[in-house]
A and B are shown apart, each in its own frame.
Chain A
């Protein structure tokens, strides 16, 4: 470190957001009365005081370069009083207090290539992980998958034609930083790690690698006189958990790391209790730069959902109503032995009734 004098950090923690909050939001904090949705990408919130604020939401490329960031701050300054809010899914929101400023703001955003939408019954921006751009354990890219997929789903982002909102996520490994979604596209490794025994002893803290394995498939071993690790390949579930603490246990593979698609994750408590996503498709090639196979399956699921679901049903609500056999029928996806859970608690997912649709 070239620095001469080191100074202790100022441990200020999480900053107070009020200092950056639009004054109309500050003024009416906790006193909003109702909202509506004048058009896709726009929300109107009305306070008990009668104050009104319009929000315009836009999708971006998420990995922002400084030119783009400054373009967005410039739009905020010239059209939205200089205030910006970001959503959980990395969408940018601008707020205005006069209705006649909404359209010029939309025009400015769209004129600069940003996509206005993402509200109400749309397919929201796909939340994603870092992928090959920056992660140390990625089985695929994330930004590229999302860019490719959003190109195809753009009309679903800027319109609100779905039965309810659709959240899509991608994760470039099964640790699943990308999150749950109505549809989740995650990498699935299908072969045990390949071990470079010349490096394990020097690079890995072996007990902690052994401890991480969820199925106790990893054991200490001596290989060619050197301390290493071995994997019981019959037990191994190819989760990849050993790879982060021990990179010589390579899990990523150009051919055998494939994409899998999961559906029905719904974090809201609305109607039913929150649900985790369930496996529907696997063995999808990890096929850069456009991943067309994964996108085709996602589009097919979305089309069936749009066709078959009732108003307000999320994907999990729709499948719950029509049943899983019908889901596989309408989507044409194969149902295999891999869809039957065999992990702990698996019996809870089996059908102990005659509730069967014919």
Chain B
């Protein structure tokens, strides 16, 4: 196959121009310079088909069902619809592999993965797909099982694909960020590894995603994109280093600080005092992170850290975009019991959704259909005013259980008071 004729790629060639690194140059490099015939051939076929897509403005991959022995999902099968023209890449499956929590790697480990992929794949890989997986792009029916067996032996496992618990995502967090309010790493692994069976054997109504961000900046986009979003936060007072506040005011000027820090506070909880110190009305602070972002040396999260859990975020299909909804305003995550509690809550939610969700219905869509109250009663969580932006406006509701519900509220208040 060494003398395999190259497909012409005049349109793709255009993508080699310009200063940003070109994926086309990378693929051509494999096609022209890789010592393995199979890799040269497969990438040649890929370039031919991709050029065909560029010319005709259509895609030509179709899915199918393949998986490794023992699993039901985790591989994205791709078969070419134009295999007669580009037979070298007629099977071009992607293997989804779960990355370590936080996406940390050593060069040695990446090279080991590269060696395995060189044996069994096309030589193309992405860190990471938008679901969080390492994407090993392009292998055929004969090779994928061998590749998986080899990397599985040294510590890697498939991610989710199809109606299942998907691969989780977490930010760099406590490993390198002073704004982290949680051990993203521990949360990520506790949740994901409890649902390993549901990752590998798709049997849920549709996909279910866990994402963990260590603070409300939400670098993992969890509220918008995760069915189960865990966001680090704190509930005591923000820590203010007044000397650093003064130094910042001195460096930037009062006007800058007023315009960019105090005026931007969404709840008007900040006052810049005449002596250039900062007063925080912590009972009105909503932990939005803005002032901490502007003055990271002066302001840091408080000491009583934990997480907020939001449920049901997702993008377009099927009923339109949904943000996650606050389910638990604050939960401590320090002890093993705390971690058991969050895992149990996730189990309750997935079980309830698996029983009550319709085919191809995300958890948030089910909540939209049945109402948040039915959902929280179904999973055994008490109602909380932090779950809403405002109470109901529509008066068309039957309220003959009012007295009992009010008593539940007062009973919970009494309990909380006794506990504290």
Footprint of B on A, CB under 8 Å? 1-3, 6-22, 25-26, 29-30, 32-36, 45, 53, 55, 59-70, 72-74, 76-77, 82-88, 90, 92, 95, 113-115, 127-141, 143-144, 147-148, 150-152, 154, 174-180, 208, 211-212, 214, 239, 241, 244, 247, 252-254, 257, 265, 267-272, 274, 276, 286, 288-290, 310-312, 343-345
Query: Beyond A13-B157, A15-B100, A312-B260: 19 further Cβ-contacts under 8 Å?
Result: A7-B149, A14-B168, A36-B296, A63-B23, A64-B127, A66-B114, A82-B107, A86-B128, A88-B169, A115-B21, A132-B50, A179-B225, A214-B317, A239-B317, A267-B222, A268-B289, A270-B216, A270-B288, A274-B323
Q: Kindly list chain A residues whose C-beta atoms are within 8 Å of the C-beta of B288.
A: 269-272
In the bound complex, residues from chain A placing their C-beta under 8 Å from that of B204 are none
Q: Which residues of B sit under 8 angstroms from A135, Cβ to Cβ?
A: 59, 61
Q: Which residues of B sit under 8 angstroms from A63, Cβ to Cβ?
A: 23, 26-27, 124, 126, 137
Distance in angstroms from A262 CB to nearest chain B CB is 11
Does B223 sit within 8 A of A, measured CB to CB?
A: yes
Q: Given A66-B114, A83-B106, A87-B103, are A45 and B178 neighbors across the interface (CB < 8 Å)?
A: yes
**Nearest 7 A-B pairs (CB), nearest first?**
A151-B18, A17-B100, A65-B26, A132-B53, A73-B107, A269-B216, A254-B57
Establish whether residues B26 and A68, one from each chain, have CB atoms under 8 Å apart when the complex forms: yes
Residues from 175 to 195 in B contacting A, C-beta threshold 8 Å: 175-178, 180, 183, 185, 188-189, 192-193
Most buried by A among B69, B102, B221: B221
CA distance A84 to B149 in the complex (A): 25
| B70: contacting residue among A9, A74, A139, A212, CB under 8 A | A9
In the complex, identify which listed stretch (B9-17, B269-277, B347-355, B405-413) lies at the interface while the others stay far away: B9-17
With A134-B61, A270-B288, A289-B11: A180-B221 Cβ-Cβ less than 8 Å: yes
Partner of B130, one of A17, A133, A179: A179
B37 CB to closest chain A CB, in angstroms? 15
- Identify B105's interface contact among A32, A86, A133, A140, CB under 8 A: A86
Q: How far is the CA of A179 from the CA of B24 in the complex (A)?
A: 24
Q: Across the interface, which residues of B come within 8 angstroms of A175, CB to CB?
A: 315-317
Q: Which residues of A sit under 8 angstroms from B100, Cβ to Cβ?
A: 14-17, 19-20
* Interface residue? B319 (CB, 8 A): yes
**Whole-angstrom distance between the alpha carbons of A55 and B176 in the complex?**
10
By a CB distance below 8 angstroms, the chain A residues around B145 are: 1, 3, 6
Whose C-beta in chain B lies nearest to the C-beta of A20? B104
Question: B70 to A33, Cβ gap below 8 A?
Answer: no
- Enumerate chain B residues within 8 angstroms of A30, measured Cβ to Cβ: 174, 180, 183
| Contact between chains at B130 and A14 (CB < 8 Å) | no
Q: Does B230 belong to the interface (CB within 8 Å)?
A: no
Whether B130 lies near A85 (C-beta < 8 A) is: no
Q: B94-106: contact bitstring with A at CB < 8 Å (1 yes, 0 no)?
A: 1000111111111
Contacts of A76 in B (CB 8 A): 107
Contact (Cβ within 8 A) B50 A289: no
In contact, B196 and A114 (Cβ under 8 angstroms): no
Candidates B104, B183, B323; contact of A21 at CB < 8 Å: B104
Contact A69 B103 (CB under 8 A): no
Cβ contacts B11-44/A at 8 Å (1 or 0 each): 1101101111111111101100110000000000
Residue B217, interface by CB 8 Å: yes
Q: A35 and B15 in contact (CB under 8 A), knowing A1-B145, A85-B104, A86-B105?
A: no
Taking residues whose C-beta sits less than 8 angstroms from the other chain, chain B's interface range is 35 or more
- Closest residue of chain B to A276 (Cβ to Cβ) is B321
Residue in A22, A127, A152, A268 whose beta carbon sits within 8 Å of that of B217 in the complex: A268
Q: Does B293 contact A (CB under 8 A)?
A: yes
A267 touches B218 (CB 8 A): yes
| Per-residue interface assignment for chain B, residues 103 to 147, with 1 indicating a CB less than 8 Å from any chain A CB and 0 otherwise | 111111111001001100001111111110000011001100110
Given contacts A34-B178, A70-B114, contact A85 B152 (CB under 8 A): no
Distance (whole angstroms) from the CB of B36 to the closest CB of chain A: 10
| Binary CB contact string for chain B from 212 to 245 against chain A (1 if under 8 A, 0 otherwise) | 0000111111111100000100000000000000
Residues on A with beta carbons closer than 8 Å to the beta carbon of B300 = 33-34
Most chain A Cβ neighbours within 10 Å, of B106, B123, B286: B106
Residue B332 interfacial (CB < 8 Å):
no
State the CA gap A272–B389 with chains docked (Å): 13
Chain A residues with CB under 8 A of B103: 17, 85-87
Question: Across the interface, do B57 and A134 meet the contact criterion of CB distance under 8 Å?
Answer: no
Kindly state whether residue B78 has any CB partner on chain A within 8 Å: yes
CA distance A238 to B343 in the complex (A): 39
Chain A min CB distance to B333 (Å): 12
Please give, as numbers and ranges, the residues of chain A lying within 8 Å of B108 by CB-CB distance. Answer: 73, 82
B192 near A35: Cβ-Cβ < 8 Å: no
Q: Which residue of B lies closest to A186 (CB)?
A: B316
Residues of chain B contacted by A253 (CB below 8 angstroms): 57-58
Sampled A-B contacts (14; CB under 8 Å): A9-B71, A14-B101, A14-B167, A21-B104, A53-B176, A63-B126, A65-B23, A65-B123, A132-B54, A136-B59, A140-B57, A176-B315, A270-B216, A271-B290
| A8 CB contacts on chain B under 8 angstroms | 69-70
Interface residues of B in 77-107 (CB under 8 A from A): 78, 92, 94, 98-107
**A14 to B105, Cβ gap below 8 A?**
no
